[in-house]
Amino acid sequence: MPGFVCSPATPHAMHELRAAVQWAREHRVPLRLTDSFGVVCTGGHLGLATWEPDEYASGVSPVGAAILKSQPQTTDPDEAATIALGAPLPFIEGVAFGLAKLQPTKAWTESIARVQFLAGLELGTFARAWVMRAEVGPMPLPGQAPS
């Protein structure tokens, strides 16, 4: 697995995830809660990457929606996710696990990047509930009541 590292961007990845979910709803892109992003790069020649929903998937995950929204100029899906959410890959893997309601694997819980993974897992679990409720208001921070 490549070791792409990005420093957390402002706004926080949670706000990017929320904006991507709203973007997907506005563009009628079906969302699904899975650890697969549900997107493919259809370009990449001369550095012009184009991301589209995977025709074989039933929808895109919120992370995939972030990739579609931002259209990062890379052909690697993991790197595209790190660019789209402005977060390191272990964090994004945790988000994907949380969205899909998967249990953390021993490889992640014993990894040196477990803190990033577990932070992403918490956000993914929290975002899963928010996406399932189909709220249109702002996604509250963990520990805050919805407004």
- Given a cut of 60, whether residue 139 has pLDDT beyond it is no
Is residue 142, in this structure, part of any structural domain at all? no
Lowest mean pLDDT among 46-55, 98-107, 127-136: 127-136
Is residue 139, in this structure, part of any structural domain at all? no
pTM, entire model: 0.81
Instruction: Determine contact, residues 87/9, Cβ cutoff 8 Å.
Output: yes
- Please report the pLDDT score of residue 145 as a whole number: 53
Highest mean pLDDT among 44-48, 65-69, 134-138: 65-69
The structural domain count of the chain equals 1
Is residue 116, in this structure, part of any structural domain at all? yes
- Please report the pLDDT score of residue 126 as a whole number: 87
Is residue 4, in this structure, part of any structural domain at all? no
Residue 112 belongs to domain spanning: 13-133
- Please report the pLDDT score of residue 144 as a whole number: 53
pLDDT digits (tens, 9 = 90+) for 1-40: 444 444 444 458 888 998 999 999 999 999 999 889 999 9
- Given a cut of 50, whether residue 112 has pLDDT beyond it is yes
Is residue 147, in this structure, part of any structural domain at all? no
- 76-114 exposure pattern, b = at least 16 Cβ within 10 A, e = fewer: ebbbbbbbbbbbbbbbbbbbbbbbbeeebeeebeebebb
Is residue 117, in this structure, part of any structural domain at all? yes
